Amino acid sequence: MRAFLMGCFHPHLVKLVGYCYQEHHRMLVYEYMARGSLEHHLFKNLLASLPWATRLKIAVGAAKGLAFLHEAETPVIYRDFKASNILLESDYTAKLSDFGLAKEGPSGDDTHVSTRVMGTHGYAAPEYILTGHLTARSDVYSFGVVLLELLTGRRSVDKRRRGREQNLVDWARPYLRRPDKLHRVMDPSLEGSYSAEAAAKAATVAYNCLHSVPKNRPTMREVVDSLEPLMRMSRDVPAGLFVYTAPSEPSPAAKVVADKAAEDGEEAKDSGISPAAAARKKCQRSAVHTESAAPKYASSVAGKESRGSPTQRRDRGA
- 109's CB contacts (< 8 A; 6+ apart) are none
Which stretches of the chain drop beneath a pLDDT of 70? 1-8, 107-114, 234-318
Three-point CA angle 166, 59, 70, nearest 5°: 100
Q: Which amino acid belongs to residue 206? A: A
pLDDT on residue 214 = 94
The pLDDT assigned to 318 comes to: 43
- Residue 21 forms part of a structural domain: no
What domain range is 80 assigned to?
35-242
Q: Residue 50 carries which side chain, given as an amino acid letter?
A: L
Last residue of a domain, one of 216, 242, 268: 242
Whether 80 is catalytic:
yes
Query: Do both 85 and 234 map to the same domain?
Result: yes
Identify the pLDDT of residue 135.
92
pLDDT in tens, 216-258: 999 999 999 999 999 988 665 544 444 444 444 555 555 555 5
254 and 236 in a single domain? The answer is no
**Residue 288, pLDDT score:** 43
- Find the catalytic residue in 80, 139, 187, 264: 80
| CATH code for position 151 | 1.10.510.10
The answer to whether residues 90 and 34 touch, using CB atoms and an 8 Å cutoff, is yes
Name the domain count of the chain.
2
Is 280 found in the same domain as 182? no
| Residue 235: predicted pLDDT | 65
Q: Are residues 125 and 169 in the same domain?
A: yes
Q: State whether 194 and 275 are in the same domain.
A: no
Looking at 207, 242, 277, which one is the last position of a domain? 242
Residue 96, φ and ψ in degrees, nearest 5:
-80, 140
Domain shared by 257 and 295, yes or no? yes
pLDDT at 72: 87
User: What are the pLDDT digits (tens) for 250-281?
Assistant: 555 555 555 555 555 545 445 555 555 555 55
Q: What is the reported pTM?
A: 0.71
